Amino acid sequence: MELQVYNTLTRKKEIFKPINPPHVGMYVCGPTVYGDAHLGHARPGITFDIVFRYLKFLGYKVRYVRNITDVGHLENDADEGEDKIAKKARLEQVEPMEIAQFYTKRYLDAMDLLNVLRPSIQPSASGHIIEQIDIVKKILDAGYAYVSGGNVYFDVLKYHNDTHKYGILSNRVIEDMLQTTRELDGQKEKHNPADFALWKKAEPEHIMRWPSPWSDGFPGWHLECTAMSAKYLGDKFDIHGGGLDLLFPHHESEIAQSVCAFGHEPTNYWIHNNMITIAGQKMGKSLGNFITLEELFNGTHKLLEKAYSPMTIRFFILQAHYRSTLDFSNEALTAAEKGLKRLLEAQRNINNITPSNNAAELDIKALINNCKEAMDDDFNTPIVISNLFEAASIINKIIDGKEKINSEGLEDLKALFNNYLVDILGIKDEQTSNMMPTIEGLVKMILDVRQEARMNKDWAKSDQLRDKLAEIGVKIKDSKDGVSWSLD
């Protein structure tokens, strides 16, 4: 089965065909850094980490670009209001770049805890003002933008009335947009309310500003991704990703900008992750119902019954398909915690299994094939997890002496967990990742002493060592094939 991805633009699954194989270019919209990352930020971080990991697993050479928005994102996302980072800086009486740097580091630290791989390139909007101005010039020269009072606006009706469609990605009707677009103060300079800013003139009190041919000001929010994706991936690349909340107007406007500046749409595949909700309502800073990742990790938010580890959060997110909504609850997180514990215990126990040469062949390859087919079917992580649980059941039966496995089957089990649980799903064993070699060495040393006692028929000492190990959570099982052990 070839890799198929759901393309938001065509609204169907398509076979993935890179422009220049084995190279793949992927651009994902990153955070606006004016506050701590919350659970809603974790989902796109993990979703596109899975895409990144799996493409590399398939042998592709992936250039993954994820931006940092540190300028141009206004309070109401409609070309008006105060820049969110500038507002935070004004309130805290610091420079805007101090805010951006502080929360960028906080975001990256949180992603590291979630085992999200760093992107290949992480550009910031403020570092690419020249590129953004250049694209504004291209769009003006093409006749799809106009200057008004030092501002530059994209002419949506001019674009839509030519050979293009504004609304092609979000499936919106232009007439409906014009009727529902709010008339805000300061929009009298626009030809129509649906037009969006490519460049905004800075008011005297605005502290983030750059010189341009039209005014001292700052770029529009939608412009930054068009500029940075084109700079690092070319004006046509393979995958553009982001949260479903960015579908309109952000990604819709990116398409329009690219068509006017470069003559074609920016990407072949649009991939969007769905939202995390609380009681059915989208989680976000603007709604005030968000839980920061730090609060999740230390259990301090009022909605939390306890703290949850980063790997529990990651596993919770991966249990739902990325295109499905995911509703937060303590019950769901606790269930994810228990499921993750079961898989990690099974993974540890693989190393304690002694293969049996006369064992009937267990069909582990079928589970591996199932996982491969699931990932090829639009990165279906829940199906992968269900197959890993089936493998965990087999491991437990082997540990309990109810099943046997030969050397080839045991190697397949190790490959299944290493490839899919660790490398692709990105799950790491937080409990034993650093201490496991030491634990394994100590247990082996005690088991050697116990084996010597058994050979000397010192059953009292043998039982004493077994019981002491059980007290600290190490269960051992004797069989005619030898002794196996597991961490409880």
Query: What pLDDT sits at residue 475?
Result: 83
The reply to whether 109 and 233 lie within a common domain is yes
CATH of the domain at 325: 1.20.120.640
How far apart are the C-alpha atoms of 54 and 58, rounded to whole Å?
Answer: 6
How far apart are the C-alpha atoms of 251 and 272, rounded to whole Å?
Answer: 10
Residue 457 falls inside a structural domain: yes
Task: Give residue 472's domain range.
Answer: 436-487
Query: What pLDDT sits at residue 435?
Result: 59
CATH of the domain at 71: 3.40.50.620
How far apart are the C-alpha atoms of 33 and 210, rounded to whole Å?
Answer: 19
Q: Which of 35, 28, 38, 34 is nearest to 117 (CA)?
A: 28
The reply to whether 368 and 413 lie within a common domain is yes
The reply to whether 81 and 161 lie within a common domain is yes
Q: What is the pLDDT of residues 307-358, one digit of tens each?
A: 999 999 999 999 999 999 999 999 999 999 999 999 999 999 998 898 988 7
Residue 115 falls inside a structural domain: yes
Residue 284 falls inside a structural domain: no
The reply to whether 239 and 334 lie within a common domain is no
> Exposure pattern of 366-387 as b/e (b: 16+ CB <10 Å)?
ebbebbbebbbbbbbbeebbeb
CA of residue 161 relative to chain centroid, distance:
37
Q: Name the token pair of 330.
A: 């303590």
The reply to whether 257 and 335 lie within a common domain is no
The reply to whether 59 and 168 lie within a common domain is yes
Q: Which residues contact 315 (CB under 8 A, 6 or more apart)?
A: 336, 337, 339, 340, 385, 427
The reply to whether 112 and 205 lie within a common domain is yes
Query: What pLDDT sits at residue 437?
Result: 65
Query: What pLDDT sits at residue 162?
Result: 78
Query: What pLDDT sits at residue 411?
Result: 95
273, 307, 341: which is the final residue of a domain?
A: 273
Q: What is the mean pLDDT of each run of 10 residues along the chain (488 residues)?
A: 96 98 98 92 97 98 97 70 84 90 96 98 97 98 97 96 91 79 63 94 89 96 97 98 96 98 98 90 72 94 93 98 95 97 95 84 92 98 98 94 90 97 95 65 85 86 88 79 72
376, 395, 424: which is the final residue of a domain?
A: 424
424, 457, 477: which is the final residue of a domain?
A: 424
Q: Which of 279, 251, 246 is nearest to 265 (CA)?
A: 251
Query: 445 to each of 319, 437, 438, 475, 482, how far by Cα in Å?
Result: 38, 12, 11, 15, 15
Considering its fold, how many domains does the chain have in total?
A: 3
Query: What pLDDT sits at residue 45?
Result: 98
Query: What pLDDT sits at residue 338?
Result: 97
The reply to whether 115 and 165 lie within a common domain is yes
Query: What pLDDT sits at residue 62?
Result: 98
The reply to whether 298 and 216 lie within a common domain is no
Residue 269 falls inside a structural domain: yes
The reply to whether 223 and 106 lie within a common domain is yes
Query: What pLDDT sits at residue 190?
Result: 92
Query: What pLDDT sits at residue 248?
Result: 95
Residue 77 falls inside a structural domain: yes
How far apart are the C-alpha atoms of 222 and 485, rounded to whole Å?
Answer: 56
Query: What pLDDT sits at residue 178?
Result: 73
Query: What pLDDT sits at residue 289?
Result: 76
Residue 281 falls inside a structural domain: no
Residue 411 falls inside a structural domain: yes
The reply to whether 55 and 173 lie within a common domain is yes
Query: What pLDDT sits at residue 286?
Result: 66
| Four-CA torsion 274, 278, 279, 280, nearest 10 degrees | -20
**Could you tell me which residues are beta bridge partners of residue 24?**
62
Residue 282 falls inside a structural domain: no
User: Can you state the percent helix, strand and coil of the chain, rounding each to 5?
Assistant: 45, 15, 35
How far apart are the C-alpha atoms of 194 and 275, rounded to whole Å?
Answer: 25
The reply to whether 180 and 329 lie within a common domain is no
